[in-house]
Amino acid sequence: MAHEGILLGMGNPLLDISAIVDEEFMNKYDIKLNNAILAEDKHKPMYEEMASKYSVEYIAGGATQNSIRVAQWMLQKPGATSYMGAIGKDKFGEEMKKNSKLAGVNVHYYEDETAPTGTCAVCVIGGERSLVANLSAANCYKSDHLKKPENWALVEKAKYFYIAGFFLTVSPDSIQLVAEHAAANNKTFMMNLSAPFICEFFKDVQEKALPYMDYVFGNETEARTFAKVHGWETDKVEEIAVKISQWPKASGTHKRITVITQGADPVCVAEDGKVKLYPVIPLPKEKLVDTNGAGDAFVGGFLSQLVQEKPIEECVRAGSYAANVIIQRSGCTYPEKPDFH
């Protein structure tokens, strides 16, 4: 069984500001569907504009936090998961704390005095989403917070660690500390490619963390970007997944497994130089609400079984179940209890 604090996540806690928008809005701010970017100055006015022009929903988000909350929901055991990241001392931050506690996650936020809680614009058209993150306080996380005894205790207690690639832009030294701890103590360390821009512009810090990764998650676009950046002459997802799994490892305890989702197409799992494809649960187009959080939910479902030492096909099945639930709702939200057997 999953013991208390078995899974620890670290990342950028963001408040999702979600709305169905139109092409004109997307063009005005130069944003593309199925992408995730960091806000530049030209994007700053879009948050206000969304709130005044469209019907917006505010939902606790941030990639790692989504995955941890979904894993917690699937496990139905309060405190099985923990999470760290930085929020502001403001209304959104308070909201986030309340939300996470209700979800049963043991959160140890660093509360920044100067910056507001980070937000993420979720622009939805035809069920597909585009993400524009304004990190603010989330960008202020420091490894000093991680090293405090009450926080490092969460690291000591956990056996599994999951960190989205987005955190590489904030605190690579925190990632390194956790990665080295995992390798030294035969624990399982996992990351996500997270977005094409991470693979392109944070290549060095990503490569530094890669040897420690026992599981690498990502979607087909991120996998292809990773391959392109590393000069691999292929855009075949199965080949790329194998090559990522064969990247040198810091510790020989676990072999690396690569898990690549492909939307409605089968999930691609590479280990030992071989690939297995697992079909996802089909969903009629009219039932799709939005894809926001689908990849995060997949990881959350997957982790909920992994921490119980279930076989990989069960992990994938749980991931597909969780993603299927989330895409039928707005944002990364879920019903009270899972219906996964």
Structure tokens at 267: 């999930």
The 10 Å CB-count burial string (b at 16+, else e) for 121-133 is bbbbeebbbbbbb
Instruction: Find how far residue 109's CA is from the centre of its chain.
Output: 17
Q: Is 144 exposed, middle or buried (0-12, 13-18, 19+ CB in 10 A)?
A: exposed
DSSP 90: S
- Across the beta sheet with 7-10, the strand order is 106-112, 81-88, 7-10, 160-164, 188-192, 215-219, 257-262, 265-271, 274-278
**Edge-to-edge strand order for the sheet containing 14-20?**
36-38, 128-134, 119-125, 14-20, 57-61
Amino acid symbol at 60: A
d(CA 67, CA 298): 8
- How far does CA 7 lie from the centroid of its chain? 14
Q: Please identify every residue annotated as catalytic.
A: 296
